[in-house]
Amino acid sequence: MRARLTMLVAGIATLTLLAFSIPLAIMLRNAAAERAVSLAQQEAHLVTAIVPTSEKAQLESAVAHMNTGFQFPVTVFWTDGTVIGAAAPRSSAVELAAAQGQSLTAATEGGREILNSVRMPDGGYAVIRAYVDDNHLTAGVGRSWLLLGAIALVLLGIGLFLASRLAKVLLVPLADLAEVSNRLADGDLDARARAEGPAEIERVGTALNTLADRIRDLLEAERERVADLSHRLRTPLTVLRLEAEAITNPVERATVDEAVGGVERAVNLAIRDARRPGRAAECDAAAVVAERFAFWSALAEDTDRECTVSLAPGPLPVKLPAEDLADAMDSLLANVFAHTPDGTAFEVRLWARPEGGAIVDIADEGPGLPNAAAFERGKSGGGSTGLGLDIARRAAAASGGRLVFGAGHGGKGALIRLELG
């Protein structure tokens, strides 16, 4: 943008300078020609004053003497055709001036001739001619044009310098606004723009800072609501745990205790996440996937599902906390159990991502994927909340990866791929 603004100013300045310089250059040339013609006319008038009262012999001596001091040669065409003074051809303009008694200026080869007609006692007309060559007509014009061009270049340079300074004044605050916007987009809610520069940009910076404050306030209020809601769940969880302790069957009691413990851990994690947002963590994808597969494989046995796993040797570090990856795996595996009939086999595969991270595939032999609308947040075809896939999608995005849907092996069943950065 800085280059474009500079080029725009350069173009406008160039056109403006040309609009003034070209007429001024023509005026300088015309002024030089008029100055030379005026001087030649003065010399011709000096001779004209003595022609009517002088004899031819006296005039020849006087004109010869004058030509030694004149800048432009003067010639007198006498009424009988005699040429007195500087040798010159009898041009058609001279013939016209002699025939009609006119005084005129005419262009001729190599310059101009200034002609004055004088009526002689014998009734004829003598013509006094002063000749100005082209060199004298343009004397000093080249130097004036060079000076004019130098002035135009200096003015153009000043214009470009001012344009560059103006662009800096405009673009530095804009670059600061862009940087702050990018930091806010990356989650740095403490980023603020410097309210400086032109008034319009200053107002934009102030508005951006106000927006950042508002976003931070809204997020803090949302986190507090999540933390409060999660905290309220502790009371019914405590009741459930007390009820579990009253179960006399040890196996059933252990199962319920484990389920209540899982819910309790999830609640505690929600509270911790709400209180400490934006944590940066990594985990070993191989260890987390293996642990969650072991948990769900026990449920697979109860529902007559054949399950297989293929894990690349760890560690496979991914940019995601272990709890978030575990939640994503649980949501994806829970979908298999929720949306396929009992006895449907499934497979979990894990391998390293070439550019870093890991890829997890969960493939089943069920009825396959529904239409794409089923993958939107809050929508479900199986009576659930519809948030499971969104949990996995957000986990993948947080790590710099993505969630991909497709068909299983041989076009049968469903394949959900979790790409983790």
User: Would strands 74-77 and 83-85 be described as parallel, antiparallel, or unpaired?
Assistant: antiparallel
The predicted pLDDT at position 274 comes to 61
- Residue closest to 209 by CA, chosen among 186, 185, 177, 187: 177
Q: Is the pLDDT of residue 76 over 70?
A: yes
The predicted pLDDT at position 347 comes to 92
C-alpha–C-alpha distance, residues 153 and 393, integer Å: 61
User: Would strands 346-352 and 307-311 be described as parallel, antiparallel, or unpaired?
Assistant: parallel
The predicted pLDDT at position 161 comes to 84
The predicted pLDDT at position 405 comes to 87
For the record, the structure tokens of 94 come out as: 């001279």
**What topology is assigned to 283-420 in CATH?**
Heat Shock Protein 90 (3.30.565)
Q: Is the pLDDT of residue 59 over 70?
A: yes
The predicted pLDDT at position 197 comes to 72
Note the pLDDT tens digit of each residue in 395-409: 888 888 889 888 877
% pLDDT > 70, the chain = 89
The letter for the amino acid at 66 is M
User: Right CATH number for 2-139 from 3.30.450.20, 3.10.310.70, 1.10.8.60, 1.10.287.1040?
Assistant: 3.30.450.20
Better-predicted residue by pLDDT, 154 or 377: 154
- The pLDDT-based confidence of 164 (bands split at 50, 70, 90) is confident
Question: Mean pLDDT, the chain, as a whole number?
Answer: 82
C-alpha–C-alpha distance, residues 93 and 99, integer Å: 10
Q: Is the pLDDT of residue 392 over 70?
A: yes
Note the pLDDT tens digit of each residue in 280-307: 578 899 999 999 999 888 888 888 889 9
Note the pLDDT tens digit of each residue in 376-388: 544 444 444 455 6
DSSP letters, 166-193, are HHHHHHHHHHHHHHHHHHHHTT-TT---
